[in-house]
A and B are shown apart, each in its own frame.
Chain A
Amino acid sequence: QKEVEQDPGPLSVPEGAIVSLNCTYSNSAFQYFMWYRQYSRKGPELLMYTYSSGNKEDGRFTAQVDKSSKYISLFIRDSQPSDSATYLCAMSSGGFKTIFGAGTRLFVKA
């Protein structure tokens, strides 16, 4: 079993839809949870960063962490075609090692 599981998709939604992206993990030592966005032929860029459980909102993006269920989510409200990218979840116990999910490919259709 992988430490971090993420559905690779692809996920296709119409413009304006609410998008829900999810990851599950097995290592209870993870404390730091991140979402990276990767556009085609580019490097991943940090989108959201949360510590421990709870919610964090930044504009149209909301990250949720449920440590009891070992489950994290990223919600995108009012999705735009420019949100079309691969979204990678990532997590760390605080050391140098960050474990990445496989990434979910998202397509937002105009």
Chain B
Amino acid sequence: DAGVIQSPRHEVTEMGQEVTLRCKPISGHNSLFWYRQTMMRGLELLIYFNNNVPIDDSGMPEDRFSAKMPNASFSTLKIQPSEPRDSAVYFCASSPMTGLGNTIYFGEGSWLTVV
């Protein structure tokens, strides 16, 4: 059973460039999350989708960040324009949301460096 699949695994880009991170959640999971992890701030929730609909984007740091989920098997997180402070690991995660608390399954992350 495939887990959450993220691409690219590593990205190095110059400041001002557009960055697009991609995610394929686990089949059958109806909830999708984008997290950002840094040494300073730990794991932060950026946005949460339920049944492809954005439910909470209060964690999105700025208007430079946007996320979409056009269908149940694909989501993107876009940063435009990128800045050095956006350098972090971005995790996509999905959950079946059975009502027994949200057990979250993470992808392996996209390691972003903005220079």
B48 contacts A96, C-beta separation under 8 Å: yes
Is B80 in contact with chain A by the CB < 8 A criterion?
no
Expressed in whole angstroms, the Cα–Cα distance for A34 and B101 within the complex equals 10
Given A31-B101, A34-B103, A43-B106, also A88-B56 (CB < 8 A): no
Is B13 in contact with chain A by the CB < 8 A criterion?
no
Is B27 in contact with chain A by the CB < 8 A criterion?
no
A102 contacts B42, C-beta separation under 8 Å: yes
Expressed in whole angstroms, the Cα–Cα distance for A100 and B33 within the complex equals 14
- Of the candidates A43, A88, A96, A101, the one whose C-beta lies within 8 Å of that of B102 is A96
Q: Size class of B's contact patch?
A: 20 to 34
Which A residues are in CB contact (< 8 Å) with B43?
44, 88, 100, 103
Chain B 61-112 residues near chain A, CB threshold 8 A: 91, 93, 95, 97, 99-109, 111
Which B residues are in CB contact (< 8 Å) with A96?
31, 33, 48, 50, 55-56, 95, 97, 102
The B interface is mostly helix, strand or loop, or mixed, namely strand
Expressed in whole angstroms, the Cα–Cα distance for A44 and B106 within the complex equals 6
Is A75 in contact with chain B by the CB < 8 A criterion?
no
B109 contacts A42, C-beta separation under 8 Å: yes
Which of A31, A46, A92, A100 lies at the interface centre, i.e. has the most chain B CB atoms within 10 A of its CB?
A100
Which A residues are in CB contact (< 8 Å) with B102?
32, 92, 95-96, 98
Which A residues are in CB contact (< 8 Å) with B109?
41-43
Nearest CB in chain A to that of B35: its residue: A100
Q: Which residues of B contact A (CB under 8 A)?
A: 4, 31, 33, 42-43, 45, 48, 50, 55-56, 91, 93, 95, 97, 99-109, 111
List 28 A–B pairs whose Cβ atoms lie within 8 Å, in order of A's numbering.
A31-B101, A32-B101, A32-B102, A34-B103, A36-B106, A41-B109, A41-B111, A42-B108, A43-B4, A43-B106, A43-B107, A44-B106, A46-B104, A46-B105, A49-B103, A88-B43, A90-B104, A92-B102, A96-B48, A96-B95, A96-B102, A97-B45, A97-B48, A97-B56, A98-B102, A98-B104, A100-B43, A102-B42
